[in-house]
Structure 1
Amino acid sequence: MMDAALNQSTIVALGGGGFSMSESGTSAIDDYLLELATTVRDKRSTEAHHRRGGRGASVLPRVCFVPTASGDNPDYIHRFEAAFDGRAETHVLSMFGQSPWGYQDPKMLQDMDLIYVGGGSTANLLTLWRDHGVDDIMALAASRGTILAGISAGANCWFEASSTDSFGPLAPLSDGLGLIPGSACPHYHGEPGRAETFRTWIEAGQLPGPGLAIDDHAAVVFENFRATSVIAEKSEAHAYIVDERGETRLDRDVT
Structure 2
Amino acid sequence: MTGTILTMGGGGFSMADDRSVPAPLDDFLLSLVESPRGAGGLPRVCFVGTASGDAASYVDGFTTAFAGRAETSVLPLFYYDQIPGGDLRAHVLAQDVVYVGGGSTANLLALWRLHGLDEVLREAAAAGTVLAGISAGMNCWYEGSVTDSYGPLAALPDGLGLLPGSACPHYDGEAERRPTYLDLVGTGALPTGYAADDGVALLWRDGELVEAVSEREGAGAYRVHRAGDALDTGDAVESLEVAESPLEVRLLP
Task: Provide the TM-score with structure 2 as the length reference.
Answer: 0.88
SS of the aligned residue for 2:64 comes to helix
Residue type of the alignment partner of 2:146: S
2:85, 2:200 → 1: CA distance? 32
| Distance 1:238-1:104 versus aligned 2 partners, 3 A rule | farther
1:49 corresponding residue in structure 2: none
1:175 corresponding residue in structure 2: 158
Question: 2:112–2:118: 8 Å Cα contact kept in structure 1?
Answer: yes
2:10 corresponding residue in structure 1: 16
1:142 corresponding residue in structure 2: 125
2:184, 2:200 → 1: CA distance? 22
2:135, 2:197 → 1: CA distance? 10
1:213 Cα shift? 0.4
1:33 corresponding residue in structure 2: 29
1:103 Cα shift? 9.1
Asked if residue 253 in structure 1 is aligned to residue 250 in structure 2, the reply is yes
Asked if residue 91 in structure 1 is aligned to residue 88 in structure 2, the reply is no
2:231 corresponding residue in structure 1: none
SS of the aligned residue for 1:216 comes to coil
* Identity among equivalent pairs (%): 49
1:187, 1:94 → 2: CA distance? 25
Asked if residue 153 in structure 1 is aligned to residue 133 in structure 2, the reply is no
SS of the aligned residue for 1:125 comes to helix
Q: 1:197 aligns with which of 158, 180, 188?
A: 180
2:85, 2:41 → 1: CA distance? 26
Question: 2:200–2:215: 8 Å Cα contact kept in structure 1?
Answer: yes
**Number of equivalent positions:** 234
2:169, 2:130 → 1: CA distance? 19
1:207 Cα shift? 0.3
Question: 1:8–1:144: 8 Å Cα contact kept in structure 2?
Answer: no
Q: 1:124 aligns with which of 107, 113, 118?
A: 107
Structure 1, unpaired ranges of 5+? 1-6, 46-56
Question: 1:97–1:103: 8 Å Cα contact kept in structure 2?
Answer: no
Question: 2:171–2:198: 8 Å Cα contact kept in structure 1?
Answer: yes
Question: 1:218–1:238: 8 Å Cα contact kept in structure 2?
Answer: yes
Question: 1:40–1:146: 8 Å Cα contact kept in structure 2?
Answer: no
2:199 corresponding residue in structure 1: 217
Residue type of the alignment partner of 2:186: E
| Distance 1:99-1:216 versus aligned 2 partners, 3 A rule | farther
2:40, 2:74 → 1: CA distance? 23
Task: Provide the TM-score with structure 1 as the length reference.
Answer: 0.88
Residue type of the alignment partner of 1:158: W
2:53 corresponding residue in structure 1: 71
2:8, 2:164 → 1: CA distance? 16
1:226 Cα shift? 1.0
Asked if residue 240 in structure 1 is aligned to residue 222 in structure 2, the reply is yes
1:58 Cα shift? 5.8
Asked if residue 165 in structure 1 is aligned to residue 148 in structure 2, the reply is yes
| Distance 1:166-1:15 versus aligned 2 partners, 3 A rule | same
Structure 2, unpaired ranges of 5+? 228-242
Question: 1:109–1:115: 8 Å Cα contact kept in structure 2?
Answer: yes
Question: 1:118–1:151: 8 Å Cα contact kept in structure 2?
Answer: yes
2:182, 2:2 → 1: CA distance? 31
